[in-house]
Chain A
Amino acid sequence: MAEVILTGVAKRFGATEATRGVSLTIPDGAFVVLLGPSGAGKTTVLRLIAGLEVPDAGVITIAGRNVVRDMPAMRNVAMVFQQYSLYPHLTVRQNLEFPLKSPILRTPQAEIDAKVAAVAGVLRITHKLNNKATQLSGGEMQRVSIGRALVRDPSIFLMDEPLSSLDAKLRADLRVELKRVQADLGATMLYVTHDQIEAMTMATHIGVLDQGRLVQFGTPRDIYENPESLYVATRLGQPRINTLPADLFGAAPAGAAVIALRPEHIVQGEGAAARVVRVERLGDQTRLHLTFQGHEIITVTDPHTPLTVGDAVAIRPQNPLYFDPHGKRVAWKG
């Protein structure tokens, strides 16, 4: 495994700047998740590291070596795509063995067998090892394609939304598994997703991309609790962070245009009166949709709250974040 460093990497497709001067250090053994909506440049960064695209400017080093001129095969990276591509005429076992059977590697068969067995166990496809790849469900095929990356010992794993085609339950299981496998192997991982749950739960570091720019890089907790911009603040958190005029609850710090309040950062029973518009009972929590001086606010409350539509409830902000008119964080001590 290795450290991967991008310095000022830019890539343009026609008139579109897919990445703009991206500088990013993926520490050895880190699980870095790139987060952003479609078109933010996540997949392009991945493909640039893999060597599937050549940057217009900038340097990419893997384990200290500039690889910008290297062919993909020379970079020793393992990539998992959103759309699994397996060899349809081979069995699951043969698909998993394939990367190890390369004549250059000359891996002994006993070692291949052990690796395949271990990976199949982790991904719970042991009972399917002798099936043809085409006899698998979509979820199983994707697990095989993840497995085909895991049997190798690359410098870095590059994964492009590998769980997005799976159902919710399997996705939740594989999140934990993938994270555990990565930690056990000490693998360096760059993982692209637009799913904030995946980003928060798996990452050691999250990189948030906005229109080709890396706008913040830090631990999930850092990104969630200390967003440097309104854009980053709205990337994480479900329900979404409430964004309101800065002075809605009284005096705001100088230069602030927006107050942003996470739904859980609204104290109930103190402050000014809001009205309940809708009560959403999700089981483990209840969401309150409120109107407050003409603004919509979402907060969370006790699952068995007696509040119903039309009730008044007093609210007060707690740990608010302030942003200037350009969406930049305004420093403030509360």
Chain B
Amino acid sequence: MAEIVIKNVRKEFGAFTAVQSSSFTVEDGEFFMLLGPSGCGKTTTLRMIAGLELPTSGQIWIGGQEVAQKPASQRDIAFVFQMFALYPHLSVRGNIGYPLISQGMPRAQVRAKVAEVAEILGISAILDRPVGGLSGGDRQRVALGRAIVRRPAAFMMDEPLGALDAEFREHMAVELRALHDRMGATTVYVTHDQLEAMQMGDKIVVMNHGVIEQFGRPQDIYDRPATLFVADFIGSPPMNFLRFEGAVAAGDRQVTLGGVVQGVPVQGAAAQGKLVFGVRPEHVALDDAAGYRARVMATEYLGTTQIVTLETAHGPVKARIAAGLNARTGEAVGLRFNPATITLFDEGTGRALPQEVLHG
């Protein structure tokens, strides 16, 4: 298994730059997510690590070897695609064993390896079935088995759960992560689903328009988004943005929003002009005593919690509050924002303003 280091990697297709100069490190044994909307360059990045595309410039290190310009066959990696292509005329056993047989491994050894992989994936009972009649989940397990059986240095996965329905995807996500925890293989995983990325990843790279917006642990990215794009892309509902004109100085602990003073984390630098007050829905509380006023536009019941959509002088705001609390459409309420969780952004650059104290 191996560490993967990406250094200033760049990819151009003609005049189009798919990936701007990017650098990040996937540590040995990590489950690493490349997250972003379609066209952001995440799949191109994955394909460059796998050797299916060669970068225009930059270095890619896998297990201490520089492989940027080497073909896929010379990199010890396995690729799992969104559309799991199985050999339809072969059995489950035949499909899983295929990579080993084509390497010229003796039959007895292949049998043992396939049995071991089937055990890990919980598909020992269906080894001799044709793949034609299998359920989506079992087909996915077979595709994984075929990737695992070679024991490569790293796995590349391109939206492997994308084709499954929601309920089953949730189940497979847990199963896939548990499989990773048992095997400890370095895995790079591409997805556009922020929840999947949060749920499964040790680390996340968030990409947009070929640029890495942020790189870090899921909770850190959620709590301290580096850009407006990340704050909006991660979280459901996403972070609320209240746009205002103002100024902050280094050391400030408050800003004025629509005439009401709001606490914020200690600011690290001065900024002024068009600013954005960012607050996550679960850090907005309804409080009649609060000076910041709003009107309830809609409520959405979610079991334990409800999402309340509010109209404010700064546009719509969503709050996630306990389902038992009363919020009636049309009602005027006050809003309280949890100061320690606020992120201020410069609207012009789209970047978060520096803060002195980190939360959590």
Which residues does A use to contact B, with CB under 8 Å?
A: 37, 168-169, 172, 175-176, 179-180, 194-195, 197, 200-202, 220-221, 224, 236-239, 262, 264, 278, 280-284, 286-287, 289, 303-304
Cβ-defined partner of B177 (8 Å) among A179, A278, A303: A278
CA distance A281 to B219 in the complex (A): 6
Q: Contact between A179 and B195 (Cβ–Cβ < 8 Å)? A: no
User: C-beta contact mask, B229-252 vs A, less than 8 Å → 1, else 0?
Assistant: 000001111100000000000000
* Residues of the A chain whose Cβ atoms lie less than 8 Å from the Cβ of B166: 194-195
Q: Judge whether B83 is part of the interface by a CB distance below 8 angstroms.
A: no
Q: Contact between A200 and B298 (Cβ–Cβ < 8 Å)? A: no
Residues from 134 to 173 in B contacting A, C-beta threshold 8 Å: 165-167, 170
* Residues of the B chain whose Cβ atoms lie less than 8 Å from the Cβ of A282: 195, 198-199, 218, 222
Q: Judge whether B360 is part of the interface by a CB distance below 8 angstroms.
A: yes
CA distance A281 to B165 in the complex (A): 22
Cβ-defined partner of A220 (8 Å) among B170, B237, B301: B301
Q: Which residue of B lies closest to A225 (CB)?
A: B303
A95 to chain B, nearest CB (A): 26
* Residues of the B chain whose Cβ atoms lie less than 8 Å from the Cβ of A221: 301, 323
Q: Contact between B300 and A175 (Cβ–Cβ < 8 Å)? A: yes
Q: Contact between A179 and B298 (Cβ–Cβ < 8 Å)? A: yes
Residues from 207 to 240 in B contacting A, C-beta threshold 8 Å: 217-219, 222-223, 234-238
Q: Contact between A283 and B198 (Cβ–Cβ < 8 Å)? A: yes
CA distance A169 to B234 in the complex (A): 11
Q: Which among A176, A195, A278 has the highest number of chain B CB atoms within 10 Å?
A: A176
Cβ-defined partner of B198 (8 Å) among A238, A264, A281: A281
Q: Contact between A284 and B320 (Cβ–Cβ < 8 Å)? A: yes
Q: Which among A180, A237, A284 has the highest number of chain B CB atoms within 10 Å?
A: A284
Which residues does B use to contact A, with CB under 8 Å?
A: 165-167, 170, 174, 177-178, 181, 193, 195, 198-199, 217-219, 222-223, 234-238, 280-282, 297-298, 300-304, 307, 309, 320, 323, 360
Q: Which residue of B lies closest to A175 (CB)?
A: B300
* Residues of the B chain whose Cβ atoms lie less than 8 Å from the Cβ of A202: 300
Inter-chain contact total with CB atoms closer than 8 Å = 78
Q: Which residue of A lies closest to B37 (CB)?
A: A167
Q: Contact between B323 and A284 (Cβ–Cβ < 8 Å)? A: no
Cβ-defined partner of A201 (8 Å) among B178, B181, B238, B300: B300
Interface of B is mostly: mixed
* Residues of the B chain whose Cβ atoms lie less than 8 Å from the Cβ of A237: 303
Q: Contact between B237 and A278 (Cβ–Cβ < 8 Å)? A: no
* Residues of the A chain whose Cβ atoms lie less than 8 Å from the Cβ of B237: 172
A89 to chain B, nearest CB (A): 29
CA distance A194 to B167 in the complex (A): 9
Cβ-defined partner of B282 (8 Å) among A176, A197, A284: A284
* Residues of the A chain whose Cβ atoms lie less than 8 Å from the Cβ of B320: 284
A195 to chain B, nearest CB (A): 7
Q: Contact between B198 and A200 (Cβ–Cβ < 8 Å)? A: no
* Residues of the B chain whose Cβ atoms lie less than 8 Å from the Cβ of A280: 198-199
Q: Contact between B298 and A180 (Cβ–Cβ < 8 Å)? A: yes
- With A172-B236, A179-B298 already in contact, the answer to whether A284 and B280 are too (CB < 8 A) is yes
* Between-chain CB contacts (< 8 Å), 13 pairs: A37-B167, A179-B300, A180-B297, A202-B300, A264-B304, A281-B217, A282-B199, A283-B222, A283-B223, A283-B280, A289-B174, A303-B223, A304-B219
B167 to chain A, nearest CB (A): 8
Q: Contact between A201 and B307 (Cβ–Cβ < 8 Å)? A: yes
A145 to chain B, nearest CB (A): 22
Q: Which residue of B lies closest to A263 (CB)?
A: B304
CA distance A230 to B259 in the complex (A): 52
CA distance A237 to B167 in the complex (A): 11
* Residues of the A chain whose Cβ atoms lie less than 8 Å from the Cβ of B193: 168
Q: Contact between A176 and B309 (Cβ–Cβ < 8 Å)? A: yes
Q: Contact between B300 and A283 (Cβ–Cβ < 8 Å)? A: no
* Residues of the A chain whose Cβ atoms lie less than 8 Å from the Cβ of B217: 281
* Residues of the A chain whose Cβ atoms lie less than 8 Å from the Cβ of B297: 180
CA distance A37 to B178 in the complex (A): 26
Q: Contact between B280 and A201 (Cβ–Cβ < 8 Å)? A: no
A220 to chain B, nearest CB (A): 5
Q: Contact between A200 and B218 (Cβ–Cβ < 8 Å)? A: no
Q: Which residue of B lies closest to A169 (CB)?
A: B238
Q: Contact between A224 and B307 (Cβ–Cβ < 8 Å)? A: no
* Residues of the B chain whose Cβ atoms lie less than 8 Å from the Cβ of A284: 222, 235, 280-282, 320
Q: Contact between B302 and A200 (Cβ–Cβ < 8 Å)? A: yes
* Residues of the A chain whose Cβ atoms lie less than 8 Å from the Cβ of B360: 303-304
CA distance A304 to B320 in the complex (A): 17
Q: Which residue of B lies closest to A309 (CB)?
A: B181
- With A221-B323, A278-B181 already in contact, the answer to whether A236 and B303 are too (CB < 8 A) is yes
* Residues of the B chain whose Cβ atoms lie less than 8 Å from the Cβ of A236: 303
Q: Which residue of A lies closest to B177 (CB)?
A: A278
CA distance A264 to B323 in the complex (A): 12
A181 to chain B, nearest CB (A): 11
* Residues of the B chain whose Cβ atoms lie less than 8 Å from the Cβ of A169: 238
